[in-house]
Amino acid sequence: MYGLLSATFFAVIQVVIYIGAIAILMIFAIMLTRRVKQEVGSTVNKGWWLAGVMSLVLFTALVLMFSTWSGFRTTLPEMPADVDTIKVLGTALVSPNAYVLPFEIASVLLLAALIGAIVVASEKKS
CB of 44 to another protein, least distance (A): 5
Query: What are the Cα distances from residue 48, in Å, to 42, 45, 52, 74, 81?
Result: 11, 6, 6, 37, 49
In eight-state DSSP terms, residue 70 is G
- Taking CB under 8 A as the criterion, the residue among 39, 74, 82, 96 binding another protein is 74
Q: How many residues form the binding site for another protein (CB under 8 A)?
A: 76
Q: Which of residues 37-66 bind another protein (CB under 8 A)?
A: 41-48, 50-52, 54-59, 61-63, 66
Amino acid found at 40: V
- The rounded distance, in Å, linking the Cα atoms of 96 and 102 is 10
Please give the Cα distance from 126 to 123 (Å, whole number).
9
**Minimum distance from CB of 89 to another protein (Å)?**
5
Instruction: Confirm or reject binding of residue 118 to another protein (CB under 8 A).
Output: yes
Which of the residues 75 through 94 are near another protein (CB under 8 A)? 75-77, 79-80, 85, 88-89, 92-93
